Amino acid sequence: MPTLTIDGKQITVDPGTTVIQAAESMGIFVPRYCYHPGLSIAGNCRICLVEIEKAPKLQIACNTPVADGMVVRTNGQKVEQGRQSVLEFLLINHPLDCPVCDQSGECDLQNFYMQYGLYDPRFKEQKVKKTKAVPLGPTVMLDAERCILCSRCVRFTDEITKTGELGIFNRGDQSEIGLYPGKELNNKYSGNVVDVCPVGALTDRDFRFKARVWYLSSSPSVCNGCSQGCNIDIHYVTDRPHLAGGARVMRVKPRYNAEVNQWWICDEGRYGYHFIDQGRLRKVTHRGVETTWEKALMELAGALGRVKEENRQGQIGVIPSAQLTTEELFLIRKLFVDSLGISQCDARVPEKPGTSDDFLIKADKNPNTAGAVSAGLAGSSFDTPAVRPEPFGKLRAGFVEGRRPATQDERCTAAQIIDRCLAGQINVLWVFGHDLVKLFGEQTVKKLSQELELFVFQGSNENGSSRYAHWVLPSAVYAEKDGAFTNCHGLAQKFTKAFEPLKDSRADSQILTELFERLAAVGPEQAVHPSTGPAPDLIGGSG
Amino acid sequence: MDFKQLESEADKIIGRYEEKRAAMLPLLWLVQEKFGYIPPEGEQWVGERIGVSIAHVREVVSFYTLYHTKPIGKHHIQVCTTLPCLLKGAKRVLAQLEERLGIGAGQTTPDGKVTLSTVECLCACEAAPATQINERYVGPLTPETLNQVLDHVLKTPETHDWLVDSARAELVEARANVRPSTGSGRTEFQPYVSTEGPVLSKRFRSAEGAWFDAYAADGGYQAAKQALTSTPAQVIETVLKSNLRGLGGAGFPTGKKWGFIPKDNPKPKFLVVNADEGEPGTFKDRYILERDPHALIEGMIIAAYAIGSHKAYIYIRGEYVRPAQRFAKAMEEARGKGWIGKNIQGSGFDLEIVIHRGAGAYICGEETALLTSLEGGKGFPKLKPPFPAISGLFKCPTIVNNVETLACVPPIIRNGPEWFAKLGTAKQGGTRLFSLCGHVVRPGLYEAPVAVTLKDLIFDSRYAGGVRAGKKLKAVIPGGISAKILTAEEINVAMDFDSLMAAGTMAGSAGVIVMDETTCIVQALWSASHFFKDESCGQCSPCREGTGWVFKIMDRILKGQGRPHDLDALLSVAGNMEGKTICVFADAAAWPVQSYIQKFRSEFEHHIATGRCELAVRGELVEPRTDRHPSTNSG
């Protein structure tokens, strides 16, 4: 294995490692525009020039393989002068329109100018005019004048999505990024080109002009859009209600995870966050009338308590959701199944499988079906999809089956619970999150509303269920709580609360805990404290 | 639009290449030949045939100047406005054309008959000022001959190609000078060309080319026969001993280069011939292709055998239509005589040769850009490492050699390496074809020992015969436009690679551009910077931005808007471009800036101070229009 010296420090790395990688592994940052670890090497921006002993010219760190005994300097006059001149070249035709550029504040032209530039501008000529504010498709806007032609976006559409929409046309200083005339950039991962763009050339139409990036706070999380569980950062603002109509979440960005999503997320996940601030249930209601948590929990505990113990198994149905965290699912299992003895408790609903591909998008649009399975609330295995070979190498395997409680009736799915409701066998129904109207039709849900003695909907957003349920309990979305999702490959991933639940909504765990404290007070001797009993089986995690 | 009729031809083309994508340029040529331009349906069709997205097809179409996305006139007149032609009156030619046609460069006459454009160097500098009309080179253009040409172009019915009448018009390609021919009593046009050898020019006498029988009668293919009976290592050793160096311009020892091919690599090896001659001031390879193509084929056989290659590509610049046709004809002859194909002359050695046509991009003369272009991409130089000898064409070991270099190989084998080495210096053997152009009495192509002095090339009666009547020498560019300029006092220098390097310039492609005292150096640099700005591939930021920046400053100075700090800015920008890019194009663009200003600073200062040129009144070198090529730019 070659040993080399970078900035006076020695390091031994694998053969084939490049200088930029070796430096990075020592915590030495070499500036880069075209280099992206997820894409092929282009070597065109020239900002990563370093000095290598015995080489007459500066070399680009991104394409120089390490060699034993190599001596590299990432600073010093020659390197700094080289970088500075490259920056000057990159900026001569750049419009310098930072005040109106969305990238401002997270732009590597700004950043590197402050770190490595700081020269007096001397370009006195007309800049090259190119197209500006061109929508490339539904998600991305192009400003060709800001583009430094690093080709990251072109390589992304060539190498990652293999859709090949983008190209660099013409040559010399007339070179321009763009699409074939009449075509658009509209693949399932388009938004990633905005992330890979190091400057303000490609901006996100969804985020454009919503907020300056320096107002954003960031919280690491896990996408709830499907069972892949891509790692994300939620970028939000809580103290500027005049921005984006008072919404808190401004955008979602992928967060690197070698085993799950690398640097990428799909557009469905990226732009699927609007439900966090829109269409939310804000108040506890009983038959359309606003009430308080106190009253609701008292009455619901009372109602549950009135069902005779021997009738609970047959008369109460619970439909949990694989959108909930593993902790919450275990709590549901403990409280409804283990404590109250309810067997008709199952998260499997008759959903049509969603779109999927062989990359990140999974047909199961729930982030935590595996968590529901491990809590014994969704049969014994994943219904959809079959576990595919992992695209990113080794997985932390080890999802443990067989922890299901013996009482679980495997054939009892949500559809059967609804059937039993309609047949009059079940007269208390507690639904978490699901839109029963979408799943079973409006007539059915209307009928449930009329015939059930108690119909509770506990969820975060308005939907068909919230319209017909007797009781509506507003709950927090994933961004408003701590927890973990287990993805389709069995990887459990923790995430933390970004901000507080909206208005009166509460985390499901809090709602359930308080409900059962009251239930214990009204009598059922089986009630157990939520902190005892089987624990979620969390394997690893990256939150 | 019906592409079905192109399918079988497309299949044949695709079948020539190891990878489908490599058929990009030839398929685009096929479409353009069929429809006169490349319509969107054509881009779509090409993309589908080779499995490339239409955006990438458009990238390629927009990169090369010879592809058109809109219909152009039946006659496309391309006026060369690069320095060698500018020195000889390209501006006058353009003005005359614009006046007569009533259109500007980049436009088409209202009847759709003629499109006029300006182009960078056609490499017909011996015939400057030159134009290309459709496929044919025409020059030198005096006002009279230009009118004759236009008469034919304008009067010819659209269905009739005026070029078939070119004999009647007494227009012969590359007409560098007029000599009364013996006997016929007719005026015959012949450029000045060496015909005495000893290495390269022996069969240059006939403008119609030397074909198989003549070549064989002159000892042709004896060297290949000899090589095929020795081992590849022996061939490499012979070439090493001959001190043959790469004559494309880099001067790397050819035998050493061949030795870089890994012996244990199971992948196929490729020989690629660089016939993308484009260095302004250079036209040597065109003569070899047209007049002695078998010398090149024989050189290719020997080189391929030496490096263990069974497939050779020859990349010929798109403008070189007749050279490509001549070479193709020679290939057919050689194939018929058993020198190309399976089991050559019963030796057990196989060699296929494929002609690949460029499409208008100087950068493709850079060996790795040539490979990218051959693979079906824009002419972007490749990152090194890996080097082509390890991973070149289609990621296989590849040797790229210049036409002239390979044409030297058969005589080396035949006459022995010592013979060749002795013709030259201790470090560079042989002779070279020197392209002489600009303000000399006899522009032309002269074979001379590599160590001939620049002074002799310009003034000796065997060569260019001096500076044109009554004028004094001012400056010389000794090795193509990339080379640093020399003053009249600096011409007592030998022309081999090492001597010129020691003199602070380079031998390059041996294209010698001579400027007399009427030449405005500021305008010369304007022209050079225009060339580099137009031809930068745009991949690396220092080159893409730097060439444009330099040109803009030069343009301002020439327009009388120079500022006191401009010269310092130019030198600094040029310095910042040097040594920071994937290939040496940026360095080549920087050297003229540095050397012209260094050696003629007062002239620049005068320009900036007064806002005008003292020499413009007398000199012919005046800025051309800067119109772009028609209809090649995408939106």
Give residue-wise pLDDT tens across range A230-239. Answer: 999 999 999 9
> Which three-class secondary structure string do you get for B30-56?
HHHHHHCCCCHHHHHHHHHHHCCCHHH
B535 neighbourhood in chain A, CB within 8 Å: 172
B547 neighbourhood in chain A, CB within 8 Å: 172-173
Please give, rounded to a whole number of angstroms, the shortest distance from the CA of B635 to a CA of chain A: 7
Q: What does the mean pLDDT of chain B come to?
A: 91
Q: Say yes or no to pLDDT of A407 above 50.
A: no
Helix (H, G, I), strand (E, B) or coil at A246: helix
* Mean pLDDT of the B381-386 span: 94
B634–A123 CB contact, under 8 Å: no
Is there a contact between A138 and A144 (Cβ–Cβ < 8 Å)?
A: no
d(CA A271, CA B128): 62
* Mean pLDDT of the B175-203 span: 64
Select from B432, B447, B456, B617 the least CA-distant residue to B508. Answer: B432
Q: Among A8-22, A178-192, A515-529, B251-265, which stretch is predicted with the lowest mean pLDDT?
A: A515-529
Does the domain at A3-75 match CATH 3.30.420.40? Answer given as: no
How many contacts, defined by CB atoms under 8 Å, are there between A and B? 129
pLDDT score for B486: 98
Does the domain at A319-490+501-522 match CATH 3.40.50.740? Answer given as: yes
B577 neighbourhood in chain A, CB within 8 Å: 89
Beta strands at A284-286 and A471-474: parallel, antiparallel or unpaired: antiparallel
Q: Measure CB to CB from residue A65 to each of B385, B537, B556 and give the nearest one.
A: B385
Q: How many CB atoms lie within 10 A of CB B126?
A: 28
Topology (CATH level 3) of domain B4-63: Arc Repressor Mutant, subunit A (1.10.10)
* Mean pLDDT of the A27-55 span: 97
Q: Among B211-215, B421-425, B452-456, B556-560, which stretch is predicted with the lowest mean pLDDT?
A: B556-560
Report, at the CATH architecture level, how domain B431-516 is classified: Roll (3.10)
pLDDT score for A394: 35
Q: Which CATH number fits domain B212-423: 3.40.50.2300, 3.30.420.40, 3.40.50.11540, 3.90.1150.10?
A: 3.40.50.11540
Please indicate if any CB of chain B lies within 8 Å of the CB of A287. no
* Mean pLDDT of the B45-67 span: 97
Please indicate if any CB of chain B lies within 8 Å of the CB of A44. yes
pLDDT score for B150: 86
Topology match between the domains A3-75 and A123-276: no
Beta strands at A217-222 and A231-236: parallel, antiparallel or unpaired: antiparallel
Query: pLDDT digit string (tens) for B499-546?
Result: 999 999 999 999 999 999 999 999 999 999 999 999 999 999 999 999
* Mean pLDDT of the A41-59 span: 96
pLDDT score for B156: 64
A144 neighbourhood in chain B, CB within 8 Å: none
Please indicate if any CB of chain B lies within 8 Å of the CB of A162. no
* Mean pLDDT of the A294-315 span: 90
d(CA B515, CA B475): 5
Q: Where are the alpha helices (DSSP H) in A223-287?
A: 267-270
The CB-side HSE value for A226 (13 A sphere, CA atoms) comes to 24
CA dist A468 → A206, A217, A315, A437 (Å) = 33, 37, 19, 9
Please give, rounded to a whole number of angstroms, the shortest distance from the CA of B59 to a CA of chain A: 5
Exposed, middle or buried by CB within 10 Å (0-12, 13-18, 19+), for A352?
exposed
Host H or E run for residue A59? strand A59-60
**CATH 3.10.20.600 domain range(s) in chain B:** 431-516
CA dist B260 → B162, B263, B310, B398, B400 (Å) = 49, 9, 17, 9, 12
B563 neighbourhood in chain A, CB within 8 Å: 124
Helix (H, G, I), strand (E, B) or coil at A458: strand
pLDDT score for B175: 38
**Which residues have C-beta within 8 Å of that of residue A241, sequence separation ≥ 6?**
none
d(CA A119, CA A121): 6
Crossing angle of helices B521-535 and B585-599, rounded to 10°:
170
Q: Measure CB to CB from residue B383 to each of A43, A86, A164 and give the nearest one.
A: A43
Q: How many CB atoms lie within 10 A of CB A539?
A: 18
Query: pLDDT digit string (tens) for A375-395?
Result: 999 876 444 333 333 434 333
Q: Among A317-321, A523-527, B70-74, B79-83, which stretch is predicted with the lowest mean pLDDT?
A: A523-527
**Cα B99 to the center of its chain, rounded Å:** 30
d(CA A145, CA B282): 37
Host H or E run for residue B515? strand B511-516
* Mean pLDDT of the A139-160 span: 98
Residue B280's pLDDT band, with cuts at 50, 70 and 90, is very high
B537 neighbourhood in chain A, CB within 8 Å: 171-172
Topology (CATH level 3) of domain B521-610: de novo design (two linked rop proteins) (1.20.1440)
pLDDT score for A379: 77
* Mean pLDDT of the A328-340 span: 91
B633 neighbourhood in chain A, CB within 8 Å: 169-170, 174
**CATH 3.40.30.10 domain range(s) in chain B:** 75-165
Q: Give backbone dihedrals phi and psi of A334, rounded to 5 degrees, phi first.
A: -65, -45
Between B424 and B151, the higher pLDDT residue: B424
Q: Say yes or no to pLDDT of A325 above 50.
A: yes
Q: Say yes or no to pLDDT of B158 above 70.
A: no
Topology (CATH level 3) of domain B75-165: Glutaredoxin (3.40.30)
A178 neighbourhood in chain B, CB within 8 Å: 634-635
A322 token code pair: 């694989």
Please give, rounded to a whole number of angstroms, the shortest distance from the CA of A34 to a CA of chain B: 10
Residue B632's pLDDT band, with cuts at 50, 70 and 90, is very low
* Mean pLDDT of the B114-141 span: 92
Is there a contact between A399 and A370 (Cβ–Cβ < 8 Å)?
A: yes
Please indicate if any CB of chain A lies within 8 Å of the CB of B364. no
Strands, E, within A74-135: which ranges?
134-135
A38 token code pair: 């997820």
B544–A172 CB contact, under 8 Å: yes
Residue A307's pLDDT band, with cuts at 50, 70 and 90, is confident
Q: How many CB atoms lie within 10 A of CB A404?
A: 18
| Residue whose entry in the numeric block shows the structure tokens 């280099």 | A35
**Cα A163 to the center of its chain, rounded Å:** 23
Query: pLDDT digit string (tens) for B421-432?
Result: 999 999 999 999
Residue B365's pLDDT band, with cuts at 50, 70 and 90, is very high
Peptide bond into B323 cis (omega under 30): no
So where are chain A's domains? Answer: 3-75, 123-276, 319-490+501-522
Model-level pTM? 0.92
Tell which phi-psi region holds residue B126, choosing left (phi > 0), alpha (psi between -120 and 50) or beta. alpha
Q: Where are the alpha helices (DSSP H) in A436-502?
A: 436-440, 442-451, 464-468
d(CA B530, CA B337): 47
Q: Measure CB to CB from residue A46 to each of B56, B385, B541 and give the nearest one.
A: B541
**B43-49: Cβ within 8 A, 24+ apart:** B43/A180, B45/B3, B45/B6, B49/B10, B49/B14, B49/B20, B49/B23
Please indicate if any CB of chain B lies within 8 Å of the CB of A392. no
ipTM: 0.92
Which of A 73-92 lie inside 8 A of B, CB atoms?
A: 82, 85-86, 88-90, 92
Q: Say yes or no to pLDDT of B171 above 90.
A: no
Helix (H, G, I), strand (E, B) or coil at B236: helix
pLDDT score for B616: 59
Select from A226, A222, A241, A288 the least CA-distant residue to A462. Answer: A288
Crossing angle of helices B232-241 and B403-415, rounded to 10°:
100
Tell which phi-psi region holds residue B343, choosing left (phi > 0), alpha (psi between -120 and 50) or beta. left
A211 token code pair: 């907020």
A92–B549 CB contact, under 8 Å: yes
Q: Measure CB to CB from residue B542 to each of A41, A65, A86 and give the nearest one.
A: A86
One-letter amino acid at A347 equals: A
pLDDT score for A412: 74
| Residue whose entry in the numeric block shows the structure tokens 């939106």 | B635
* Mean pLDDT of the B362-381 span: 98
Select from A51, A84, A43, A88 the least CA-distant residue to A70. Answer: A51
A89–B58 CB contact, under 8 Å: no
Sheet holding A231-236, edge to edge: A217-222, A231-236, A249-254
B55–A125 CB contact, under 8 Å: no
Q: Which CATH number fits domain A123-276: 3.30.70.20, 3.40.50.720, 3.40.50.2000, 3.40.50.300?
A: 3.30.70.20
